[in-house]
Amino acid sequence: MRHLSRMTAPHWLALYAGLLAAWALVWSMSAPGTFASALRDLCLTPAGEATAFGLLAMWLIMSAAMMLPTALPAFATHDEIATAQGLRGGGALVGGYITVWVGFSAMAALVQMAVGDRVDAPWLAPLLLILAAAYQISPLKEACLSKCRQPLTFFMQHWDAGPWRMGLRLGAVCLGCCWALMALGLIGGAMSLGFMALATVLMTLEKLTTGRAVPVAIALGCLGGAGFLIGGWI
């Protein structure tokens, strides 16, 4: 019963609401109706015509839908530790985490505006796929992923920093782990239900498993996609 009561705390309810809203917005992109049409116009405007607000909204929705599920085990671990010590702070932890991804969304929107129509250039997709593959097997990726996989150790190391700062650090570690895969949204996966669902599953698997099998498999998949695209030029 204590576990269930923790999962109905205000920050958990807000988290569930944010997740449901984000995925509902993504799903509605393919639905008929005025609202869906307005959402498509806002988020999927051609790169050269997109507004800063529209791009920011798109990346915020994508970040919420894709990254919050991967952080649920860490949030639950924090709540267990805090409850055992008679403390609170889950809301501040989630707030710090979200702040990092809001910053990422703003940066991604700026990058996409700067790239403009070049987002459709044939060389960009294979380049991003190769970069993502290289990052998947990099020492920095491994270091960040190891922290994401051990939330208990992470929180015990940084507990004195308080929930807000721990949330910022957790968000930074998560960003270091997943930014390259998120960046693939630039090449056709933006607000795509299939791409977002697949990427969310893969990033969650990375954090729930051990070893290098999943990260390496993702890297090979990225390289295979890049090779396929390059082969189309020949």
66-69 long-range Cβ contacts below 8 angstroms, 24+ apart = 66/182, 66/196, 66/199, 66/200, 66/203, 67/101, 67/174, 67/178, 67/182, 67/203, 68/15, 68/18, 68/19, 68/22, 69/19, 69/200, 69/204
Residue ranges, the chain, pLDDT below 70: 1-7, 30-50, 188-190, 233-234
Query: What's the pLDDT score for residue 113?
Result: 82
Domain range list for the chain: 2-233
Give the model confidence (pLDDT) of 6-15 as tens digits. 667 788 888 8
Using DSSP's 3-state secondary structure scheme, residue 208 falls into helix
Query: What's the pLDDT score for residue 35?
Result: 60
d(CA 13, CA 52): 30
Query: What's the pLDDT score for residue 48?
Result: 57
**Among candidate residues 72, 106, 100, 88, the one with its CA nearest the CA of residue 167:** 100
Its pTM stands at: 0.89
